[in-house]
Amino acid sequence: MKVMVTGNLGYIGSVLVPMLNMKNYHTVGYDTGYFSDNILGDNPKDIQTINKDIREVNIQDLNGINGIIHLAGLSNDPLGELSPEFTYGINLMATVKLAKLAKEAGVKRFVYASSQSMYGISNSGKELDEDNSEKNPVTTYAITKWEAELELMKMHSDDFVVVCFRPSTVFGASPRLRCDIVYNNFVACAYTTGKIEILSDGTPWRPVVHVKDVCQAFMAGLEAPSALVGGKAFNVGIPNGNFTVRNLAEAAKNCVPGCELVFLNEHTDPRTYRVSFNRILNELSDYYQPAWNLDKGGKELVEYFDKVNLTEDDYRGVKCNRLKQLEFLKTKNRLNDELKWL
């Protein structure tokens, strides 16, 4: 099976591609390269990649492709607010264009990396399920992810199977590590500074999931029978996978002995939600068996930091923070205001 991974040179894509290759998929990448140089340690072995902006995709790019895992996009709230207009262009319009071209080209599976950010601010004490829980996206990023799902589901058919996965906040080691996501941030902060800085009071809820478990979910989207996944959305997480920010900080502290917790209380984060993972854990149990928890993932991160000699400059700088990298590229006149290469 020939599979295209868009965003293969990002945090998740750099973990997903080797996992696909281990299962003998023929993988092709598609990535504009914003973060291709953000590498810790040795250069990963990258695959054949079409180096293009996802907004410029054409049907010839999809020749011979059987399945697509679509990761490419501006991947969190701060990035989405950098250029809201172009976030719509990249996360929504380009996603819809890619799917329409894929359907026309005869691609059979379209696996979309969506987001739980669409749940936004939840006033419910219940865990949120995929279909019946209110969607309350409060940021440009979250809105584009939700609207893209709605458009993609309209294209689902027997010949073009669409499945949307909504990962919890991801953590875990990757050659293109991100430290601008909560658990990675806490462990890296503890490792490089001896303390964990928590901007809020620690009470918001955050579901989290390991990057390798997320990749396993995406592969399930390719492998499970269409009757199980077609036209559906799945929250991606682990059993009992909802944590407060304080829970996450304490777990990180346990992985880095001697560090301290510092609650800065600099701002109140309105985003809080608990999510149900019953659908993926039950309906896809033959294809998705998460293997990672906070303790195992935290220890993996510390071992990885030892291996790559992670510094505080790495942790706080452009190498591990996506917004800072894009701002750096703009400052150096390598990207224009439309986030296109100059």
Residue 142 lies inside a defined structural domain of this protein = yes
**Beta partners for residue 49, in sequence order:** 29
Identity at 77, one-letter amino acid code: D
Residue 338 lies inside a defined structural domain of this protein = no
**177-180 LR contacts (CB < 8 Å, sep 24+):** 177/11, 177/38, 177/40, 177/304, 177/319, 177/320, 178/11, 178/320, 178/321, 178/322, 179/314, 179/315, 179/316, 179/320, 179/321, 180/76, 180/78, 180/320, 180/321, 180/322, 180/323
**Beta partners for residue 165, in sequence order:** 113, 234
Is the whole-model pTM more than 0.75?
Answer: yes
State pLDDT tens for residues 300-340: 999 999 999 999 999 999 999 999 999 999 999 999 989 99
For residue 269, what pLDDT is reported?
67
For residue 264, what pLDDT is reported?
82
For residue 76, what pLDDT is reported?
73
Residue 36 lies inside a defined structural domain of this protein = yes
What is the CB neighbour count within 10 angstroms for residue 333? 8
Residue 337 lies inside a defined structural domain of this protein = no
- Count of the separate structural domains present in the chain: 1
For residue 44, what pLDDT is reported?
86
Q: For the residues 189-209, what does the mean pLDDT come to?
A: 92
d(CA 165, CA 40): 28
Residue 21 lies inside a defined structural domain of this protein = yes
For the residues of 235-291, what is the DSSP string, one character each?
Answer: EE--TT-EEEHHHHHHHHHHHSTT-EEEE--------B--B--HHHHHHTTTT----
State pLDDT tens for residues 114-146: 999 999 876 657 899 999 999 989 889 999 999
d(CA 94, CA 316): 30
Q: Residue 84: which domain range?
A: 2-268+275-331
| DSSP state, residue 44 | P
For residue 45, what pLDDT is reported?
85
Question: Is 220 in contact with 20 (CB distance < 8 Å)?
Answer: no
**267 pLDDT exceeds 90?**
no
For residue 62, what pLDDT is reported?
98
Indicate the length of the chain as a whole number. Answer: 342
Structure confidence at residue 270 as a pLDDT band (50, 70, 90): low
d(CA 60, CA 76): 30
Residue 340 lies inside a defined structural domain of this protein = no
What are the backbone dihedrals phi and psi of residue 209, each rounded to the nearest 5 degrees, phi first?
-155, 145
Residue 259 lies inside a defined structural domain of this protein = yes
Q: Which two tokens stand for residue 339?
A: 């986030």
Mean pLDDT for all residues in the chain: 94
CATH code for the domain of 122: 3.40.50.720
